[in-house]
Amino acid sequence: MTSGCTPIADDPDALVAKLTEIVDRLRVAPDRGKVADYIPELACIDPHQFGLSICLCDGTQMNFGDAETPFSIQSVSKAFTLAIALGRFGEGLWRRVGREPSSNAFNSVVDLELEKGKPRNPFVNAGAIVVTDEIMAGRAPRDALAEILWFVRTAAGDNAIYIDEALAKSEKVTGHRNWSLAHFLKSSGNLKHECDLSLGTYFHQCAIEMNCVQLARAGRFLAGLSAKDELVSTSHVRSINALMMTCGHYDGSGEFAYRVGFPGKSGVGGGIMAVVPGKASIAVWSPGLNEYGNSKLGTIALEELSLAAVWSVF
Ligand code: DON
């Protein structure tokens, strides 16, 4: 680095100043995207909220805006279930789900038919349903769900993380697209449990509520910031980060990699868990979504932070 050009990442005061500026501006930005309305409980979320939390490699954590307001993590949960499934079944998982990016929406039915019932990756809905179905093998759905919740709480170092039952139930009643994906998987021989059991577990994992403070802490294992690596092996962390980079934002993953330059996993609740390997774990939340179903202002915040801190991995 040339003198006079120290990245703000090396200067805590400059990092706080930059993040304060970004968050203060985006909290009142007029063009906020559109909240997900296909899940009734998410349709009434106030889009004028913005939170960000960042954990750094020296153990410090900084919180900004609405960082302590809980939100529905939705598809961010898929990074945690992938970690659990890789831990339990290793490479065998890839017999049931692919590792390639998708060019259609996260809930695409046509992709699944074209791939003959093998979802393109573990982050599109069909792939995440298969991963959850795999985690359920040999035990009751409630036990699989208990492990998912245990994993998230352990990663975050916080037991005060719960499931929004009303949200899970409402998605079970209205999530017809996911029902069609589950039935297609079942008809292809790629769902071991009955559709209502696998989907019931999947809807509940999506309905986990966390705030940015908790989510940034939960992502530390992916950034290599945890004190010990016993939760997930280094090789699985590498695999998960590769998939978050290439598939974590669905058909908007190329755009996210181009603009932000480090791995992230989004959810339609407006949260993004992002990882700067060896440097930072970041959670950002703004409920308005872009055309791909990813947080519009959350992506902008990460893009600006990445540029200022010189954190792109490219
Ligand atoms: O299955 C669904 O459609 C939702 N529970 C989760 C989708 C989601 O979060 C997509 N991410 N941006």
CATH of the domain at 183: 3.40.710.10
Contact (CB, 8 A) for 205 and 164: no
Q: Residue 125 Cα, ligand 1 centroid: separation in angstroms?
A: 7
All residues at 6 or more sequence positions from 27 whose CB lies less than 8 Å from its CB, including other chains? 48, 49, 50, 65, 66
Angle, to 10 degrees, between the axis of helix 165-174 and the axis of helix 195-206?
130
In terms of domains, do 177 and 142 share one? yes
Q: Is the CB of 167 under 6 A from ligand 1?
A: no
Q: Residue 291 Cα, ligand 1 centroid: separation in angstroms?
A: 14
Q: Is 112 exposed, middle or buried (0-12, 13-18, 19+ CB in 10 A)?
A: buried
Instruction: For residue 200, count other CB atoms closer than 10 A to its CB.
Output: 20
In terms of domains, do 131 and 215 share one? no
- Nearest atom of ligand 1 to the alpha carbon of 177: 3
In terms of domains, do 30 and 88 share one? no
Domain end among 177, 206, 235:
206
In terms of domains, do 110 and 191 share one? yes
Predicted pLDDT of residue 226 = 83
Instruction: For residue 31, count other CB atoms closer than 10 A to its CB.
Output: 8
Residue of 71, 73, 74 to test ligand 1 pocket, by largest number of atoms within 8 Å of CB:
74
ipTM above 0.90, yes or no: yes
- Nearest atom of ligand 1 to the alpha carbon of 249: 12
Predicted pLDDT of residue 229 = 59
Q: Tell whether 23 is covered by a domain.
A: yes
Beta bridge partners of residue 271, listed in sequence order: 285
All residues at 6 or more sequence positions from 267 whose CB lies less than 8 Å from its CB, including other chains? 72, 73, 74, 75, 76, 77, 206
Split the chain (314 residues) into runs of 10 and give each run's mean pLDDT. Answer: 61 96 98 95 96 96 98 98 97 98 97 97 98 97 98 97 97 97 98 98 98 98 82 96 98 98 98 98 98 97 98 97
- pTM greater than the 0.95 cutoff: yes
Q: Which domain range does residue 276 map to?
A: 8-72+210-309
The domain total for the chain is 2
In terms of domains, do 215 and 172 share one? no
Q: Tell whether 3 is covered by a domain.
A: no
In terms of domains, do 118 and 216 share one? no
Predicted pLDDT of residue 8 = 87
Tokens of 259: 């603009």
Q: Tell whether 1 is covered by a domain.
A: no
- Residue type at position 137: A
Q: Residue 172 Cα, ligand 1 centroid: separation in angstroms?
A: 13
Tokens of 240: 């998960």
In terms of domains, do 100 and 190 share one? yes
Predicted pLDDT of residue 9 = 86
Angle at 106 between CA 105 and CA 110, to 5 degrees: 60
In terms of domains, do 201 and 219 share one? no
Q: Is the CB of 75 under 6 A from ligand 1?
A: yes
- Nearest atom of ligand 1 to the alpha carbon of 206: 5
User: Whole-angstrom Cα distance, residue 73 to residue 66?
Assistant: 15
The stretches of the chain forming alpha helices (DSSP H) are 12-27, 40-43, 77-89, 110-114, 125-135, 141-156, 165-174, 176-187, 195-206, 212-218, 220-223, 234-247, 253-259, 296-309
In terms of domains, do 257 and 179 share one? no
Q: Is the CB of 41 under 6 A from ligand 1?
A: no
In terms of domains, do 107 and 163 share one? yes
